[in-house]
Chain A
Amino acid sequence: MNAILASTSPTSLNIMRGALQQAGQKDLNLKTVDNIAGMPAAIEPDTLLMVDWDDGKEHAVMFIEAARKCQNNIKVIAIGSKGAVDGEARGMVAAIVHKPVDPGLLAKSLKQSAQPQTKPRPSVNVEFINPFIESTVNVFSTMCGIDIRRKKLFLKDDHKMLGDISGVMGLSGSATGSVVISLPEKLACIVVARMLGEEPATELNADVADGVGEIINMISGQAKSAFSKTKYQFNISIPSVVSGAGHEITHKKGTPNIVVLFEAEAFEFAVQVCLGAE
């Protein structure tokens, strides 16, 4: 059996190695990876990737993405303490195993993960995300005088938005899909007020909604312009805005939905890019 064990922690790598041996795996061909650069350039189709979720979701997702870049259908098992791994890894991996690892449960998970996956996870094209990150930083800085900080990047399957108000832009061309900015109410009021040089509204209103629509228009437009210097060409539509706590925006089925979490003025907001090549 070919397996790649991925963690930045030597202790976790030892735990995973020991657990695999105790789970009765014979003829183990193991490779341990403690950073993304160490991921093999070529990965056999039947390889198992065991990833340590206690490293933090960002690390775990990067290991998974790096492996899937080489082998899109690689089987992935997430190992982690009860809690974060359950909510975060579900849908991204074939199985989740809690620490301390029960060898019997691991053996069962290995058996399950060996079954052919009915829905191979689509590969993530990171070329699609960077122009949106750069344009978001630029729009906030130029139009609002707000410096924002990128916090983390992750994949999301559900349609529930992270903020109270979201601006949506449809894209077509080299790929189709959408880009969404989702902001908490207070931050949306602050951002729009800064653009206008006014005092922030106390709650969401038509002016704030219009301002959020213009922000996603500028983010998309600037990213579109950056893409025009690459092999990708896009057209943008007219923005729309959705609001309300827990509102949902559906994204293109079978396409990776990448969320970039930013921090601004002590609030978090998200830019969500869901683009699939035609």
Chain B
Amino acid sequence: MKILVVDDSSTMRRIICNSLKQIGQEDTVQAEHGADALAKLKENPDIELILTDWNMPMMDGFEFLTHVREENKTIPVIMVTTEAEKANVVKAIKAGANSYVVKPFTPDVIAEKLKPFLG
């Protein structure tokens, strides 16, 4: 499964990709912010799952999510963010996020959250 990992921190992208490797998901595409992620989605129509941060420069994860849902209602989107307040979780789910991972996290949390989408 090709997975898009969106975060402005290269360290966090690598941490997420390492966590994905541990569950056998090595086919990843990385993007630095929402606008970059939209471009990567166009270049890679075979992307089947998105993991995205919320607070990013240029275009944040919430705006990115909104754009994704305008084009694609079904691709699973998991928010991976420090925005842990209930109001923000509800806001993201209402806007179309399928799941939510709060930073800091351990690799098994990523594995657990991805499980329903890996078939």
Picked from A138, A213, A224, A228, the residue with its CB within 8 Å of the CB of B9 is A213
- Find out whether the CB atom of B104 lies under 8 angstroms from the CB atom of A207: no
How many Å lie between the Cα of A105 and that of B85 in the bound state? Answer: 56
Using CB atoms, name the residue of chain B closest to A226. B84
Chain A 50-82 against B: per-residue CB contact (8 Å), 1 yes, 0 no?
Answer: 000000000000000000000000000000000
Question: Within 8 Å CB of B85, what residues of A?
Answer: 224-225, 228
How many Å lie between the Cα of A120 and that of B45 in the bound state? Answer: 63
- Find out whether the CB atom of B8 lies under 8 angstroms from the CB atom of A238: yes
How many Å lie between the Cα of A143 and that of B12 in the bound state? Answer: 10
Question: Within 8 Å CB of A221, what residues of B?
Answer: 55, 81-84, 103
Interface bin, chain A: 20 to 34
Within 8 Å of chain B (Cβ to Cβ): is A197?
yes
Picked from B8, B55, B87, B106, the residue with its CB within 8 Å of the CB of A236 is B55
Interface bin, chain B: 20 to 34
Within 8 Å of chain A (Cβ to Cβ): is B117?
no
How many Å lie between the Cα of A47 and that of B28 in the bound state? Answer: 66
Kindly provide the distance from the CB of A211 to the nearest chain B CB, expressed in whole angstroms.
Answer: 4
Evaluate whether A142 and B105 lie within 8 angstroms (CB atoms) in the complex, with A221-B84, A225-B84 already known.
yes
Identify which of B14, B18, B85, B104 gathers the most chain A CB atoms within 10 Å of its CB: B104
Picked from A207, A220, A222, A228, the residue with its CB within 8 Å of the CB of B11 is A207
Within 8 Å of chain B (Cβ to Cβ): is A217?
yes
Within 8 Å of chain B (Cβ to Cβ): is A101?
no
Kindly provide the distance from the CB of A258 to the nearest chain B CB, expressed in whole angstroms.
Answer: 21
Using CB atoms, name the residue of chain B closest to A135. B104
**Ranked 3 nearest A-B pairs via Cβ:** A221-B82, A225-B84, A142-B104
Residues on B lying within 8 angstroms of A by beta carbon are 8-12, 14-15, 18, 55-57, 81-87, 102-106
Residues on A lying within 8 angstroms of B by beta carbon are 138-139, 142-143, 192, 195-197, 207, 210-211, 213-214, 217-218, 220-222, 224-225, 228, 236, 238
